[in-house]
Amino acid sequence: MTSIDTDETGLGPGWVRACPTSDIDIDTAFIVDVKPPVAVYHIEDGFYATDDTCSHAESSLADGYIEEGWVECELHYAKFNIKTGAVMAPPANRPIGTYPVQIVDDIVYVDLSEHRGCAIAALRP
């Protein structure tokens, strides 16, 4: 992970560089190496970010199956809406958090200071 130069991008201090847009094919995800980790997804209408850790247990959602705006956890097959973090299928019963994403010069940035929803927010400093 690399902190970004806010003078260069115009983004605030909570934003971190994730990866070039070309590194994430449609319906795949990239893990941003922060604690707790964040998954950046490329879906049909753009790039989105959520907590990478499934709210059911400790599986990485970036390693799951992605289709039509949802991600399916590979461990027990819970499904989450990538845009909202809402649970779409059990066994998970808690949503995952989401983060704002912006693209600057073909680089994906995530605002870690704007975590929305879920219990993992309590772990982020």
Q: Which residues form the interface with ligand FES (CB under 6 A)? A: 54, 56-57, 59, 73, 75-76, 78, 91-92
Q: How far is the CB of 95 from ligand FES (least distance, A)?
A: 13
- Closer of 76 and 124 to ligand FES (Cβ): 76
Backbone angles phi, psi at 68, to 5 degrees: 50, 40
In the complex, least distance from residue 89 CB atom to ligand FES, rounded to whole angstroms: 9
Given the complex with ligand FES, which of 19 and 88 has the nearer CB atom?
A: 88
Between 43 and 51, name the residue whose CB sits nearer to ligand FES.
Answer: 51
DSSP category for residue 115: -
The distance of closest approach from Cβ of residue 48 to ligand FES in the complex, given in angstroms and rounded to an integer, is 18
C-alpha span between 92 and 79 (Å, rounded): 8
- Could you say which DSSP state residue 30 is in? E
DSSP letter string over 44-86?
A: TTEEEEEESB-SSSS-BGGGSEEETTEEE-TTT--EEETTT--
104's enclosing H/E stretch is strand 101-104
State in angstroms the smallest separation of the CB of 55 from ligand FES.
8
CB-nearer residue toward ligand FES: 8 or 58:
58
